[in-house]
Amino acid sequence: MNLLILGLFIATLNKITSRYLARVPKTLTLTCLPAAVLLLAGCSGAQAASVARDENRDAILVAATIPVLADLARNVGGSLVEVSSAVPPGVDAHSYQTTPSNSVTISRAALTISNGSGLDDFLLPIFQSARPGGAVHVVASDGLESQFPASEPVISLGADPHFWQNPIFAIHYVEQIRDGLIQADPGNAARYEKQAQRYIASLRQLDENIAGLLDQVPPNRRILVTHHQAFSHLAARYGWQTMALAPGDAGSVTPESILQVSQKIKDAGLSSVFVEPRFRSSALDQVARDARAKVSAIYAGLGGEATTYVEMMQFNARSLADNLR
């Protein structure tokens, strides 16, 4: 069957039974579908009985736009949630094309999570149309965007929506997600509170660890040069400067930005610039060659060595400390 039709069918079905379906594990929904499509009826008694023995029976389904939000939700939700991300790890979120299977996943979610601040707005139409009627939606950066604009770059590159690059802002995301989970699944409020508290404590520790690593870099070399403006909140948190060739939405590189960034690398005598390994930038490679600087790895989102949010942040701090000191 055409997946799109299947998606629309599930979306309609969910409008009626969203609360129920959101609590049903993926395996059940998928095995039940042929029967549901043919008979417009629920699952057979035998399948329902096997599900009753499933220890994950009560997991609610959470659909996030990007992998970093999915990872934060997994840490807050633990075994109470089954989380997916519309954009897969290692894929460029700024230019992602949605697929029909994204609609199917979103149509079964009790909670949906987006970043906001312009990063994933292009995904909102599919989230809005596929989301079940009773589902809760959380915009993780709500409350941050007006309060904390990006740190002052040398070239104006517009707003930077990658707030999670500051662990203190990631804690704000976690609190938003915790509140969304409690709203979607109030019966488990105490467990979400407790799990969020534990994870927030580990993020505070992460913040201290990053500060310790970045302190190893001499103050005159605390300049983070990247391809797109994704690290201004990281830079601002630890008192660094940041420069990028492309804006926060990963738009185009201008000749003006190339000249200014090149000059800055030479003036500061930087030994390295930074780029996401999967998104090599020929413009940044050229700038680095001209300035005799190397190109080292950094992650704006999850993928490659950055398997979780905490792994990503530790990797980035180590890479900055190792390549600039």
CA 229 to chain centre: 16
Nearest CB to Zn ion, comparing residues 185 and 276: 276
Q: Which stretch binds Zn ion (CB under 5 A): 36-44, 166-174, 273-281, 294-302?
A: 294-302
Whole-number minimum distance, CB 80 to Zn ion, in Å?
A: 30
236 binds Zn ion (CB under 5 A): no
Backbone angles phi, psi at 146, to 5 degrees: -85, -30
Whole-number minimum distance, CB 300 to Zn ion, in Å?
A: 5
Nearest CB to Zn ion, comparing residues 224 and 230: 230
Backbone angles phi, psi at 98, to 5 degrees: -70, 155
Whole-number minimum distance, CB 252 to Zn ion, in Å?
A: 14
- The two tokens of residue 43 are 């699952």
Q: What is the DSSP string of 255-317?
A: HHHHHHHHHHHHHHT-SEEEE-GGG--HHHHHHHHHTT-EEEE--SSSBTTB-SHHHHHHHHH
Q: Find the residue with minimal CB distance to Zn ion.
A: 230
Site map 190..229 versus Zn ion, x via CB under 5 A: ----------------------------------------
Nearest CB to Zn ion, comparing residues 160 and 185: 160
Nearest CB to Zn ion, comparing residues 74 and 228: 228
230 binds Zn ion (CB under 5 A): yes
Whole-number minimum distance, CB 296 to Zn ion, in Å?
A: 18
Whole-number minimum distance, CB 60 to Zn ion, in Å?
A: 29
Type of residue at 142? D
Whole-number minimum distance, CB 26 to Zn ion, in Å?
A: 29
Backbone angles phi, psi at 272, to 5 degrees: -155, 150
The residue count for binding Zn ion (CB under 5 A) is 2
**Options 300, 302, 306, 320; binder of Zn ion; rule CB under 5 A:** 300
Do you know the residue count of the chain? 325
Whole-number minimum distance, CB 230 to Zn ion, in Å?
A: 4
312 binds Zn ion (CB under 5 A): no
- Please say whether the dihedral angle defined by the alpha carbons of residues 271, 209, 148 and 124, taken in this order, is positive or negative: positive
Type of residue at 163? F
Residue 61 CB neighbours (<10 A): 26
Q: What is the DSSP string of 201-250?
A: HHHHHHHHHHHHHHTTS-GGG-EEEEEES--HHHHHHTT-EEEEEE-TT-
Task: Using CB under 5 A, list all residues that contact Zn ion.
Answer: 230, 300
